[in-house]
Amino acid sequence: MLRRVTFSICVREEYVDEDGNDQHRFGVAVTTRLAAVGTLCPFASENGAVATQSLVNVELGRKGVEYLDDGLSVDDALRALLNADDGAEQRQLHGVDADGTFAFSGEECNGWYGHVERENYTVAGNLLVGESVVDATAAAYENADRDAPLAERLVDALAAGQAEGGDRREELHVQSAALLVETTEDREMEPYYDDLRVDASQTPIEDLRATYELAREGFEMAVERYGEEADGDDDGAD
């Protein structure tokens, strides 16, 4: 089923892990005035992140990430998919990989629509109150403290866009939001807060933030508890 999805952000970040190794992380976050956007729009792997929206073709996201995993650049992967899509002018498609970015807004998207493409991230939206929504989303991400977890900063970016008015369809009260973060780092425990969805709510971003905070708290408690147990096992083995 095809549905119109509103605004999203895809990002790429380089960082150094605790062992001193260079790593990449990729994130995507989205919100709209429809339910269950997390099943439709955001896609990511250790090789990149993709968002498919406007009149959604979910296969553009699924195959886009598959192509990135196969070694194609994000530009080649997403252009190839759009070239094969008869409904391309009704789509928005954007994403990032380890080396580049890509953003496309078809001429038949509903206004206001548009995107911004920067060195390490892309933002796109349609059915918005205006250009200020994508600009505020981009500015919030750019100005955020990089020491904060990416999932937290993605929520903040969505909140900034929503504060500018977000989706203009005020008659639709059921909304949703989602975020997804992947990394090249091989972690012993994957953070619970890197794959979150609020499927139906009147306050999706506030609920996504609350879900993130609880998930992060739970993850930190689990690391502390199971880390201590592992240390105890090691002591016993000695």
Question: What is the C-alpha to C-alpha distance for residues 6 and 55, in angstroms, rounded to an integer?
Answer: 9
What DSSP string describes 217-230?
A: HHHHHHHHHHHHHH
* Bridge partners, residue 153, by sequence: none
**Whether the Cβ atoms of residue 176 and residue 34 lie closer than 8 Å to each other:** yes
Question: What is the C-alpha to C-alpha distance for residues 3 and 45, in angstroms, rounded to an integer?
Answer: 24
* Bridge partners, residue 158, by sequence: none
pLDDT tens, 95-119? 999 999 999 999 999 999 999 999 9
Where residue 172 falls among pLDDT bands split at 50, 70, 90?
confident
Tell me the torsion sign for CA atoms 194, 29, 139, 25. Answer: positive
Q: What is the pLDDT of residue 170?
A: 82
**Whether the Cβ atoms of residue 78 and residue 97 lie closer than 8 Å to each other:** no
Tell me how long the chain is. Answer: 238
Mean pLDDT within 220-229: 78
- Checking if the pLDDT of 1 tops 50, the result is no
Closest Cα partner for 11 from 133, 154, 113?
154
Q: Considering the entire predicted model, what is its pTM?
A: 0.93
Q: Which residue has the tokens 């109150």?
A: 129
Mean pLDDT within 124-148: 97
* Bridge partners, residue 150, by sequence: none
Where residue 232 falls among pLDDT bands split at 50, 70, 90?
very low
Where residue 230 falls among pLDDT bands split at 50, 70, 90?
very low
pLDDT tens, 143-170? 999 999 999 999 999 999 999 998 888 8
- CATH code for residues 4-237: 3.60.20.10
Question: What is the C-alpha to C-alpha distance for residues 115 and 123, in angstroms, rounded to an integer?
Answer: 5
The helix (run of H) or strand (run of E) holding residue 96 is strand 91-97
Q: What is the pLDDT of residue 228?
A: 57
- Checking if the pLDDT of 235 tops 70, the result is no
- Checking if the pLDDT of 2 tops 80, the result is no
